[in-house]
Amino acid sequence: MLDEGHSFVATLVFYSLSMVCYFIFFMLRNEKFSSYGSLLVKVGILFHTIALSSRTVMASRLPLANQYEFATSFAWGIAISFVGFEWKYRFKALGTFVTPIILLVGFYAALQTRDIRPLMPALQSNWITIHVSTAIFSYGAFAIACGISIMFLIRDRFQEDGFIKEYIPNFEILDMISYRAIALGFIMLTVVIISGAIWAEKAWGRYWQWDPKETWSFITWIIYAIYLHVRLSKGWKNKKAAWFAILGFIAILFTYIGVNTLLVGYHSYA
């Protein structure tokens, strides 16, 4: 088995090449590059899975315990979600908007220390698997919704462009898929918050402490709850919903990267 370091570097290389291919496809309008991009992101996932597996073996636990481990797992979750959505809906242009997000999180992981340390007492719980793994796929679903919402806005801006019409689906399909991704992500984010509260009570004797990450997770949950509420009760769709989905994912990024970088709390280790 390849060691984690080399596998992780290969992962970033293939994700980067995939992003370049998707950009060439979109800018030069050459369809074969979308196929190259799709293949390269799958190869990247293969090396990414090897890196995570190597980390699991070396640490004798799942790689979910610190900033590096969660960030690389977060990027993996987005990549897996992307491949699933691309396969199901056949969106050749989706990679143009999602691979940069994968790389953003991947390179953030690369900036973190990779030292393997013993789990701190608060993390020595089975709840870590439920809490963090659902967060990974929740964030992945929200990333897909963000990418699709950007596609919606581009289609709105260039409605008469033949290439855009051919490779970006119509507004109704984009809006529906973004909604489904957000609904899925919201359910998992709810599980994240509930499992985190139970875990906090067992670790610190309190379900909620208004830690910066807890607070921002709740703010993010509120943003998506508002999105779902106004959509279901008032039929809020299309352009406004797309901007709301993008705003929600910006909150997701701040909840993870911003809070970890700028604020100190119980979650500073993650």
Q: What is the pLDDT of residues 98-138, one digit of tens each?
A: 999 999 999 999 998 888 777 666 666 677 778 888 988 89
CB atoms within 10 A of CB 85: 22
Q: Write the CB contacts of 60 (distance below 8 Å, at least 6 apart in sequence).
A: none
- CA–CA gap between residue 152 and residue 131 (Å, rounded): 32
CA–CA distance, 94 with 26 (Å, rounded to integer): 10
Tens-digit pLDDT profile for residues 171-213: 888 999 999 999 999 999 999 989 888 877 776 777 677 777 7
The pLDDT of residue 262: 64
Integer Cα distance of 202 and 179 in angstroms: 35
Domains in the chain: boundaries: 4-113+121-262
pLDDT of residue 212: 78
To the nearest whole number, what is the mean pLDDT of the chain?
Answer: 86
User: Does 169 or 39 have the greater pLDDT score?
Assistant: 39
Query: Mean pLDDT over residues 51-71, rounded?
Result: 85
Cα–Cα nearest to 103, from 21, 35, 32:
21
Closest CA to 152 of 100, 226, 104, 93: 93
Radius of gyration for the alpha carbons in the chain, expressed in angstroms and rounded: 19
Contact call for residues 134 and 195 (beta carbons, < 8 A): yes
Rounded mean pLDDT of 141-153? 93
What pLDDT is stored for residue 184 in this prediction? 93
